Structure formats: structure tokens, C-alpha cells
């Protein structure tokens, strides 16, 4: 039995039918499927609602666009569970499977072998910790694309003391700082007429 956690765009009506196909497929194969209560209730699938963590799944299935994939990654909170993106959105850079291919892809993932029938593409993530100058408590975030720290008031800059992996990188006054992973760097790099960084590169 394979355990699958669904993360779905809540306002795309076509996703309801796709979920119905996935549920029928899971029952036929005796697989387990569940969703977070917020997604399940919004899409009319309250019987799939569960408080179980995404990290308990063997696979996280994202139904939507790139934003839904990012939400799926946040649901995992750093757990090493594969995410399969099904493109039911307007942006599909991170979603490689079309809805018509969804069930066949799931079958291939369950019965196939990695490297022959499918590949799992590891992606570098960013972890950022903010330490306020006034001695307040630290806040830490994980992100697949980028972490952005920016000023709150217009007309002023903020002083930044940036460390990378515990080593001092730079101190400067600016509007903010953007730290992007290879996955999240593409648009920033292209806007500066720079090269596209391979998602497999650790930079």
C-alpha cells in the first residue's frame, strides 16, 4: 500500500474531477490518500480530510501550478518525501505531469524502478535565520525558491549583517536582500541578463 498526501489548488474546478479519478485509482490499488482539512473542505472532498502530516506519506501529489508545488514543499517542512507536480495551473515550471498522464505516472512510480522508469530530482533548499538587532527572538524559514528580507518603511534603508553557513559574508545598508536557490534564481538571473543556473547545481 502506498500512502499519498494530496495538495491541491482550492479554486480550480477541474481539480475536483481529477481527485475523483485519483480516489477511484487508489481504492482499486488499495492505496491510501488524504488531504489537509482546508484543501479537502474547499474542494468538496471532506472525507479525505485528515490531520496527518505530509511527512507520513510515501509521495506528495501536487495538483495545481507552481504555487501549489511550493505549498506542498512547505507542508513537508524539510522531510525527504518526493513531490510530484501535476500541472493544473497557469505556470508549470515545477510541474512536469499533465492531468491526463497523472494515473499512468503514479502507476509507473509505484511499480517502476528509479533511474529506469522515473527519476527523483533532488533540489537544494534555502534556510534563513533572522536575528533582530534589538535582541528579539530568532526566526527561521525554509524555502524552495527564495527568502526575501525587505524594509517596511519607504524612504529608508535597513542595515544588514549577512552570514552564510556561519561565515560572515557582507555588511551593508540597502532596501533588503534576496537569497535564492538554483530553483528560484531563474527569473532574477534572466532579469539581470545572467545565465540560468541548473537546479542540480548547489549554489
Find the catalytic residue in 39, 66, 163, 175. 66
> Which of these, 20, 130, 142, 16, lies nearest to 75 by C-alpha position?
142
Among 145, 183, 147, CA closest to 162: 147
For residues 181 and 122, the answer to whether their CB atoms sit within 8 Å is no
Q: Which of 33, 37, 58, 55 is nearest to 46 (CA)?
A: 37
What are 149's strand-pairing partners? 177
| 13/111 Cα distance (integer angstroms) | 30
Q: Is 66 a catalytic residue?
A: yes
Q: Which residues are catalytic?
A: 66
Amino acid at each position: 500500500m502506498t500512502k499519498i498526501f494530496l495538495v491541491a489548488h482550492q479554486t480550480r474546478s477541474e481539480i475536483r474531477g481529477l481527485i475523483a479519478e485519483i480516489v477511484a485509482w487508489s481504492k482499486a490499488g488499495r492505496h491510501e490518500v488524504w488531504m489537509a482539512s482546508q484543501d479537502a473542505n474547499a474542494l468538496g472532498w471532506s472525507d479525505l480530510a485528515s490531520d496527518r502530516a505530509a511527512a507520513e506519506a510515501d509521495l506528495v501529489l501536487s495538483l495545481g501550478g507552481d504555487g501549489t508545488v511550493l505549498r506542498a514543499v512547505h507542508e513537508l517542512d524539510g522531510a525527504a518525501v518526493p513531490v510530484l507536480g501535476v500541472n493544473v495551473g497557469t505556470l508549470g515550471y515545477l510541474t512536469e505531469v499533465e492531468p491526463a498522464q497523472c494515473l499512468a505516472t503514479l502507476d509507473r512510480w509505484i511499480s517502476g524502478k528509479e533511474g529506469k522508469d522515473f527519476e527523483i530530482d533532488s533540489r537544494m533548499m534555502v534556510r534563513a535565520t533572522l536575528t533582530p538587532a534589538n535582541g528579539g527572538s530568532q526566526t527561521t524559514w525554509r524555502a524552495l525558491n527564495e527568502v526575501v528580507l525587505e524594509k517596511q518603511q519607504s524612504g529608508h534603508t535597513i542595515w544588514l549583517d549577512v552570514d552564510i553557513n556561519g561565515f560572515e559574508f557582507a555588511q551593508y545598508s540597502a532596501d533588503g536582500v534576496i537569497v535564492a536557490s538554483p530553483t528560484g534564481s531563474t527569473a532574477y538571473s534572466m532579469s539581470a541578463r545572467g545565465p540560468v543556473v541548473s537546479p542540480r547545481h548547489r549554489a
